[in-house]
Amino acid sequence: MKAPQENAPPRSTFSRGPCGKRRSAARGGEAVAGWLFVAPVVVILGLFLLLPILMALWVSLTGWNGQGSPFRSGVPFVGADNYTSLVAEDGLPRQDFMTSIRNNLYYVFLVVPIQTALALGLALVVNQRMLKSKGFFRTAFYFPSVTSSVAISVVFLFIFANSGAVNALLGAVGIDGPVWFNDSRGLIHLLLDTVGVNSPPGALANHDVLGLSWWDWLSGPSVAMCAIIALVVWTTSGTFMLMFLAALQNVPQQVEEASLIDGANRWQRLRYVTLPMLRPTLFLVLTLGLIGTWQVFDQIYVMSQGNPAKTTLTPAFLSYRTAFKDFEYGRGAAISFVLFLIIVVMTLLQRWILRERKS
């Protein structure tokens, strides 16, 4: 094994020398051709993605009232006013925005880990070589993902209705189920209630951060939000299961066999062999999950419209409501840009946490 490697030329000279030369000499004309090939996509992206984003950015800096074009001379330019009303000024807009951020934070913190873990679990199960009728299970698990989210939302409305399936099941084991979509109590508040804390301690109720008291920030997701969380976890885990499954099938069998020979047990194989090889997929799933959960809109629109008591209000829905129901187009656009920033920051943060650590 050792001898031929020593005789072979160093890898670097082998690849660098001839290739580098050819690129500089012959590829000048190819660059033009390359640009021509990508031109349609560049034009389409510019026209339908970049340009609308820039237009929205402009709207977020104006006090446009929705009459005529926002690019006329008469439209008042208000600078960062729309943004400061969201974060700096005490008032209803900031309160609504911060409430929506709180709701979405709890939503993200619950949905992303649960759906990732569930998707990984399903993928591991479906990937078992012993499993019979794999095709059936794959289809069954993936099915919710290909169904229209609006249709599923409506079905869930029935399932979680007061006399629906969920409460009937809970009733069968003697639990009096909540009125799911009318229940604005937060989970953490409910937990505190069981240990006897049912009114906010003064220290939490009297101190505000960004327009919401500590007690409100620490409410936890409301019961209504939990129903939506259950729905989203159920629908998206199928998609992510497919990604994990594809990655699992790329794990070479030899590696697994080698670990078996080394005497690794089931858990060790998963923890030290399979999971490290899934790292790129894990990153993909977490990123997509993070972005998707911060943008949640259709389930909210169909199921709750932000009710009860604003506990299912999310920034994406608030942006829509502010612009198209309250006619505050500037503030609506500003919310969407703040949301964009949040998503970018969260993704960078997650990338930093999941980075390859060189020991």
Binding flags for other proteins, 184-223, as an x/- string (CB under 8 A) = x---------------------------------------
Least distance in Å: CB of 336 to other proteins?
A: 16
Q: Is 330 in the site for other proteins (CB under 8 A)?
A: no
**For other proteins, how many residues bind (rule: CB under 8 A)?**
41
271 secondary structure, DSSP code: I
CA gap 200, 65 in Å, rounded:
40
Rg (CA), the chain: 26
User: In the block, which residue shows the tokens 């943004």?
Assistant: 83
Which range touches other proteins (CB under 8 A), out of 62-70, 136-144, 232-240, 333-341?
62-70
Residue type present at position 315: P
Tell which one of 57, 78, 124, 161 touches other proteins (CB under 8 A).
161
- At 212, which helix (H) or strand (E)? strand 212-213
Q: Tell me which of 2, 11, 22, 72 binds other proteins, using CB under 8 A.
A: 72
CB 138 within 8 A of CB 126: yes
Question: Which residues make Cβ contacts (< 8 Å) with residue 205, sequence separation at least 6?
Answer: 213, 214, 215
β-strand partners of 222: 186
Q: Does 81 bind other proteins (CB under 8 A)?
A: no
Min CB(171)–other proteins separation in Å: 14
> Which DSSP string do the residues of 10-48 spell out, in sequence order?
PHHHHHHHHHHHHHHHH-HHHHHHHHHHHHHHHHHHIII
114 binds other proteins (CB under 8 A): no
Binding residue for other proteins (CB under 8 A) from 18, 37, 45, 206?
A: 45
User: 292-321: which residues touch other proteins (CB under 8 A)?
Assistant: 307-310, 321
Q: Does residue 76 touch other proteins according to CB under 8 A?
A: no
Q: Which is nearer to other proteins, 92 or 165 (CB)?
A: 92
Q: Binding of other proteins at residue 272 (CB under 8 A)?
A: no
Q: Are 181 and 311 in contact (CB under 8 A)?
A: no
Are residues 318 and 306 in contact, defined by beta-carbon separation less than 8 angstroms? yes
Cβ proximity to other proteins, 51 vs 170, nearer residue = 51
Task: Select the residue interacting with other proteins from 14, 18, 50, 209 (CB under 8 A).
Answer: 50
Q: Is residue 289 within the footprint of other proteins (CB under 8 A)?
A: no
Q: How many residues does the structure list for the chain?
A: 359
**Shortest Cβ 150–other proteins spacing (Å):** 14
Q: Which residues lie closer than 8 Å to 129 by C-beta, 6 or more apart?
A: none
Residue 177: how many CB atoms within 10 A of its CB?
Answer: 17
Is residue 84 part of the contact set for other proteins (CB under 8 A)?
no
Task: Please report whether residue 43 would count as binding other proteins according to CB under 8 A.
Answer: yes
Binding residues for other proteins, rule: CB under 8 A, are: 42-43, 45-47, 50-51, 54-55, 65-72, 91-93, 96, 161-163, 179, 181-182, 184, 307-310, 321-329
